Amino acid sequence: MNAQNKPELRELSYAEAIREAMDIALEDDPSVLLMGEDIGVYGGAFQVTGDLVDKYGTDRVLDTPISELGGAGVAVGAALTGLKPIFEFQFSDFAALAMEQIVNQAAKVRFMLGGSVSVPLVMRFPAGSGTGAAAQHSQSIEAWLGHVPGLKVVQPSTPEDAKGLLLAAVADPDPVMIFEHKILYKMKGHVPEGYYTTPIGKAAVRRAGKDVTIVATSIMVHKAMETAEKLSADGIDAEVIDLRTVRPMDRDTVLDSVRKTGRLVCVYEGVKTLGVGAEISAMVAESDAFDFLDAPIVRLGGAECPIPYNPELEKAVVPQVPDISAAVRDVVQGRV
């Protein structure tokens, strides 16, 4: 995130970082294959797979028909029997068509079979609002999948983590669901060369601070960082935690921070009610960190409605910097 200070560091976009991770995985392991709609010659709806088909051919960069349920199920079956599919949904919203295979099959088969099999499956979900694509192409549904034991759910917010978490997901024997924010695809940042992994289940402290903890996910990490910089001018010192993994959640990093700052604001794009912030809040409320709280916990999440088309409405239904700023001020200044 601080690549600007070190110009010698190599920068890639978030999309390029994901592509590089897939390239490394395909290169290193012949059992890896990419599956999805229009990921071959088209390069993917968001140009994430790009030209990988030219390097690996149509057998390993496999365009599926428009068949999300079947395609996901084929990926589950292949994962059960020796392949390691990386399955791209064109939009995360279309996971709704494949929930059967994701939730009833991929997530549960190992458990149901008494641990005798594994499902080394990676699914990639372009998610989030901000593109004007309206209600069926803009959702943030990580909490749906985060509710399912058997799945691991990650939300990289930087190019470096997008690559590292994807490579960690490929190395993981269990199904890992990766939510990629569409607005981040073009974001540039430092990405180390070669193979490395970012640990699943580990949050990152993006900015240390003493007055308030902001736990954010995905694109909200950047909005939280911007807010923190603004507030620091007014003497409010916010700590920003990038949750990175929704399931399993990094309890220690969050609780340690809350014990230090005594205040918690959760910021996420998914619908506020029953969302990721509810779990973070409950985690704190159920622990000794609760005793350190000097103010009520505040959650900022998506409005209780589908994502609207009109650009002003679209902006209004997800937290923006002024909303975060106001909430953090209120928490710090005892107005909650």
Ligand X SMILES: Cc1ncc(C[n+]2csc(CCOP(=O)(O)OP(=O)(O)O)c2C)c(N)n1
Which region, judged by CB under 6 A, interacts with ligand X, from 90-98, 115-123, 263-271, 317-325? 90-98
Question: CA 12: distance to chain centroid?
Answer: 18
Measured CA distances, 289 to 237, 253, 258, 334 (Å): 19, 11, 6, 19
| Strand boundaries in 182-254, DSSP class E | 188-190, 204-207, 212-216, 238-242, 245-247
37 is catalytic: no
190 is catalytic: no
Catalytic member of 137, 181, 190, 222: 137
Cβ nearer to another protein, comparing 139 with 261: 139
Partner that binds at residue 304, options ligand X, another protein, none, CB closer than 5 to 8 Å by kind: another protein
State the Cα angle at 112 between 106 and 114, rounded to 5°.
Answer: 120
Cβ nearer to ligand X, comparing 46 with 94: 94
Q: Which residues 6+ apart lie within 8 Å of 180 measured at CB?
A: 14, 18, 48, 124, 125, 126, 127, 156, 162
Q: Is 97 in the site for ligand X (CB under 6 A)?
A: yes
Partner that binds at residue 317, options another protein, ligand X, none, CB closer than 5 to 8 Å by kind: another protein
Contacting residue, 66, 112, 274, 326, with ligand X by CB under 6 A: 66
**Nearest approach, Cβ of 55 to another protein (angstroms)?**
16
List of residues contacting another protein (CB under 8 A):
37-38, 40-43, 45, 47, 63, 65-70, 93-94, 97, 131-137, 303-306, 308-313, 316-317
Contacting residue, 20, 68, 142, 314, with ligand X by CB under 6 A: 68
Q: Is 274 in the site for ligand X (CB under 6 A)?
A: no
Partner that binds at residue 208, options ligand X, another protein, none, CB closer than 5 to 8 Å by kind: none
**Nearest approach, Cβ of 15 to ligand X (angstroms)?**
18
Binding residues for ligand X restricted to 16-35, rule: CB under 6 A: none
Cβ nearer to ligand X, comparing 96 with 293: 96
Structure tokens at 10: 């190599």
Question: CA 87: distance to chain centroid?
Answer: 16
Cβ nearer to ligand X, comparing 37 with 180: 37
Contacting residue, 87, 94, 185, 268, with ligand X by CB under 6 A: 94
| Residue 158 · residue 182 · CB < 8 Å | no
Task: Please state, in angstroms and rounded to a whole number, the distance separating the CA atoms of residues 160 and 193.
Answer: 10
Which region, judged by CB under 6 A, interacts with ligand X, from 89-97, 213-221, 255-263, 321-329? 89-97
List the strands of the sheet with 264-271, edge to edge. 204-207, 238-242, 212-216, 264-271, 298-302
**Nearest approach, Cβ of 175 to ligand X (angstroms)?**
20
Partner that binds at residue 132, options another protein, ligand X, none, CB closer than 5 to 8 Å by kind: another protein
- Enumerate helices (H) and strands (E) in the chain, giving the number of each: 12, 14
| Residue 177 · residue 145 · CB < 8 Å | yes
Check whether the bond before 306 is cis (ω within 30° of 0): no
| Residue 98 · residue 131 · CB < 8 Å | no
Binding residues for ligand X restricted to 137-176, rule: CB under 6 A: none
Catalytic member of 16, 20, 37, 68: 68
Burial string for 184-218 (b: 16+ CB within 10 Å, else e) reads: bbebebbbeeeeebbebeebbebbebebbbbbbbb
**Nearest approach, Cβ of 67 to ligand X (angstroms)?**
9
| Residue 240 · residue 209 · CB < 8 Å | yes
Partner that binds at residue 282, options another protein, ligand X, none, CB closer than 5 to 8 Å by kind: none
Q: Which residues bind ligand X (CB under 6 A)?
A: 37, 66, 68, 90, 94, 97
Catalytic residues: 68, 137
